[in-house]
Amino acid sequence: MLGRPGPRTRDPIQNTEPYGSLYRSSKQCVIRKLTAVPKRVVVVWRAGPTWTSGGVREQPGWDAHADFIDALIENGTFVMGGPFGDNSGSMSLLEGLTVDEARRIIADDPFVANGVFVLADVREWDVFVDELTARI
């Protein structure tokens, strides 16, 4: 389904030309959805000097970090995030921000302040295919 919205087969009764109006309307639909998607920023963290053995919920300052993320969710900035399977770091997806704005916001994360996370990378992400938004 990746990048191919709409019906998977062509109905010969409604559309007798290969890649006819069904294809064009699907393509136009995708373009409209893409232009409506807000800017997104990917934040990649690595485990910092105070990271202890165990999972993310066992780290010092977990409750304060969770409260910080909850506030970002409430204001619509935080889309999704979580630790890598090997606990070597984490990745977060933010939206509606520039890279500089994201850097300023994440500097206030208690996990950054107490050294559990070290910022590895912050990048603007131009989303071309977003099946999550398409379902809304």
Whether residue 2 has pLDDT greater than 70: no
In whole angstroms, give the CA distance from residue 4 to residue 20.
15
- Going by C-alpha positions, the residue among 38, 119, 121 that lies closest to residue 78 is 38
> Exposed, middle or buried by CB within 10 Å (0-12, 13-18, 19+), for 81?
middle
Query: Which residue, chain included where needed, has tokens 């485990």?
Result: 47
Domains and CATH numbers, the chain: 1-36 (no CATH), 40-125 (3.30.70.1060)
pLDDT of residue 134: 61
pLDDT of residue 14: 46
pTM for this prediction:
0.68
pLDDT of residue 105: 95
User: Which one is predicted more confidently, 6 or 134?
Assistant: 134
Whether residue 10 has pLDDT greater than 50: no
Whether residue 6 has pLDDT greater than 70: no
Q: What is the rounded (10 degree) CA torsion for 10, 14, 17, 19? A: -40
Residue 45 CA to its chain's centroid (Å): 14
Whether residue 84 has pLDDT greater than 80: yes
